[in-house]
Amino acid sequence: DADVTQTPRNRITKTGKRIMLECSQTKGHDRMYWYRQDPGLGLRLIYYSFDVKDINKGEISDGYSVSRQAQAKFSLSLESAIPNQTALYFCATSDSGETQYFGPGTRLLVL
Amino acid sequence: QKEVEQNSGPLSVPEGAIASLNCTYSDRGSQSFFWYRQYSGKSPELIMFIYSNGDKEDGRFTAQLNKASQYVSLLIRDSQPSDSATYLCAVRETSYDKVIFGPGTSLSVIP
């Protein structure tokens, strides 16, 4: 089984809808991250969490919120989706902030 | 905002040649540097990390770090078509203990 899983893998939604992307990990890491990837822009950090009680905004947090339900679970929500949130979303984990282990990604299309 | 820059490419090299990928960073205090490989439609995976000035070799891959000039490079010897991917440079920020990714360089190895 994969160490970092993301659900759903693909999602199509309409403008204004609320959606949640979920991430689970079995690596036992305290640190979890949400990134979005757009062509030519690389990975941009949305939110990160160093433990269950510690959540921090990344460089592009506007329009997103997160919830760290447990050490192993970190969810990303789009409260009211808009077309420019169409992107590939990755969850990642790390133990000491060094090597990051990525989930398979969620491809989101907002119409 | 700390920055990590890479040539977007695409970089094309013939099979068997040396591929050279470069990255510059703005945070002079950065201590940890990473190279991730990302195949099309897949998630990034770590291939090299380097902390100290100089070279670090792992099989066909060599990472080179020059902190004074603030650049890090990745050399791939005896390039293979299977090396065709996007290579992401990442730098660990000193101030916020998180990793900043560059936009990636697309490498194509021509048989």
Q: What is the pLDDT of residues B34-59, one digit of tens each?
A: 999 999 989 999 999 998 888 999 99
User: At residue B82, does pLDDT exceed 70?
Assistant: yes
pLDDT computed for residue A96 by the predictor: 75
Query: Is B73 within 8 Å of B56 (Cβ atoms)?
Result: no
Distances (CA, A) of A94 to A50, B7, B97: 9, 27, 12
User: Chain A partners of B32 at a C-beta cutoff of 8 Å?
Assistant: 98
User: At residue B7, does pLDDT exceed 90?
Assistant: no
Identify the weakest region by mean pLDDT among A48-62, B70-84, B88-102: B88-102
Q: pLDDT under 50 in chain A at which residues?
A: none
Please tell me if residue A100 touches chain B, with a CB cutoff of 8 Å.
yes
What is the C-alpha separation between A52 and A58, in angstroms, rounded?
17
Please tell me if residue B46 touches chain A, with a CB cutoff of 8 Å.
yes
Per-residue pLDDT, averaged over B86-104, amounts to 86
Q: With an 8 Å Cβ cutoff, are A90 and B44 in contact?
A: yes
Mean of pLDDT over chain B: 92
